Each structure stands twice: as C-alpha cells, then as structure tokens.
Amino acid sequence: MSAIDNGAVRISFLGGGNMAGALIGGMLERGFDARKLRVVDLAAENCARLAERFGVSAATSVADGFLACDLLVLAVKPQQLRAAVAPLAGHLREQVVVSIAAGIRTADLARWLGGYARVVRAMPNTPALIGAGVTGLYAAAEVDANGRASVARVLSSVGSTVWVDQEALIDSVTAVSGSGPAYVFHFIEALEAAGKAQGFDAGTARKLAIDTVLGAARLAHDSEDGPGVLRERVTSKGGTTAAALASLADADFMGVIDRAVAAARARGRELGDELGRD
C-alpha cells in the first residue's frame, strides 16, 4: 500500500465505541474516505450513531465486504476479543490487523485468528477523543514497512505515535501514557481540592487547577528544554515553590509516581496472562 493516498485505504472496524469513533472522526479530517470505512458493532445504537455522524457503513454483524479491507481495527474490550474474532479465523488474507485491546499479546491474537500473524498492537489513550492522544505501537515481524506506515497513518489521525521494538514495552506504554491521563486528572483533582481548602470557591479552584496544568503542559511541549529545567526556572531559592517542592520530596513524590506506573505495568502483564490462557 505504499504511495497511495489516505482516501484509497479500506478500513474495517470490529467495535464501534468511543475510540473507534475518535479514530473515524480524525481519519475523515485527514482525507480518508467515509465510503471505504466499515464498522461492525453488536449495539445497534452505536451503528446508528456512527452512520449518522460520519456517513460510514455500520452493521450489527459481519457482512460481505467487511474483510475486503487493507486494515482491520479491533476496537472491542479485551475480555470480549477472543469471542469477537473467532468468526474471522481462516478468512483473513493480506490485511494488517490492528488491536487496541489492552493486554492481548500478538501471539495469542494470532492464535485466535487461526495462525494469522500480520498483527499490530496499539495502545492509544483517551485524549485521542479530542485529537490530542499518543499511541504506542508494536508490530509483529510479519508486518512489513508498508503495513506499519499504513497503521501509523490511521493512529496519527488522533495524535502522535511512538513505535517500540519489544512487545513487552507495550505494557509500559499502557502504564505511562495509556493510564497516564488518569494520573493527571487525579493531580488536577488534588490541586483543585487544595485550592478550595485555601478559600477559593469550587469554580475558581477548578479553573486555577486545570488552566495551570494545561498551560504547563503546553509550555513543556513547546520548549526545547526538559521539564526538569523548566521546573528549576520556576523555583527560586528559599521561595514559595521551593517550599512546596520540598514538601513533595518529603512525601517521596517521584517514588509514588514510579510505583504507580510499575503497578499499572504489572497489571497489564497479568491481564495478558489471564486473557491469553487457554
């Protein structure tokens, strides 16, 4: 599929939930053709929503033409994936299969697909819903450069992409960026609560917390300097920020985050073991 435009790519989605909708919306903004997109979802309301909003073909069961695609995106819950792909085993030919199901390993998915190994694991995060996500990607050896490029074109429609060369690192991607938005939301929640404790009304405390995180993230994104340098610039010796950071250090803030990410990674590996078990 090298040297073809986005509008020529045929893509089928198994699952039509929020992430599928985000991908479809982002793809259409980048020149993909709605007439070449197909969705199968068991929920009729999801099908109706996607068809009305995006003009894509959506049905509650696999019909003729569904597998006549270049990319097959599996956008169902990890616990449902084995049963969902069972009818596809033995019917795949040249397409690349892209799974966004957390924890499911390529070898297990290939086995469920009847030995079909042209599989890519993708781990997007929820900011993809507003086109600001980041997706970690790992491709099995059977996926060639053209296949990888096609997958990257699709996932980059909702944000940036990062390839890893070891599948185990996808669990780490899940722990850092996949679960990461929840860590940030929790920090905003804590900062908002601290603001209210200082006497601000709820609306003001929330605005101060959210806009501070938003602005700091933008500054870090746009700066050539790392976050450590930016932190140091805000921190005057003996000042208010230094006092706050000293309190965080006393509470082992860096260690707390490290342990949280490690716990998420470990749970991702456990899910892979549990869901891949015969």
Domains and their CATH numbers in the chain: 6-171 (3.40.50.720), 180-268 (1.10.3730.10)
Order of strands across the sheet that contains 71-74: 57-59, 37-40, 11-14, 71-74, 96-99, 119-123, 133-139, 159-163
Full-model pTM: 0.91
Instruction: Give the pLDDT of residue 7.
Output: 73
Instruction: Give the pLDDT of residue 153.
Output: 92
pLDDT tens over the chain, length 278 residues? 344 567 788 999 999 999 999 999 999 999 999 999 999 999 999 999 999 999 999 999 988 789 999 999 999 999 999 999 999 999 998 899 999 998 999 999 999 999 999 999 999 999 999 999 999 999 999 999 999 999 999 999 999 999 999 999 999 999 999 999 999 999 999 999 999 999 999 999 999 999 999 999 999 999 999 999 999 999 999 999 999 999 999 999 999 999 999 999 999 999 999 988 87
CA distances from residue 203 to 186, 190, 207 in whole angstroms, order as listed: 17, 14, 6
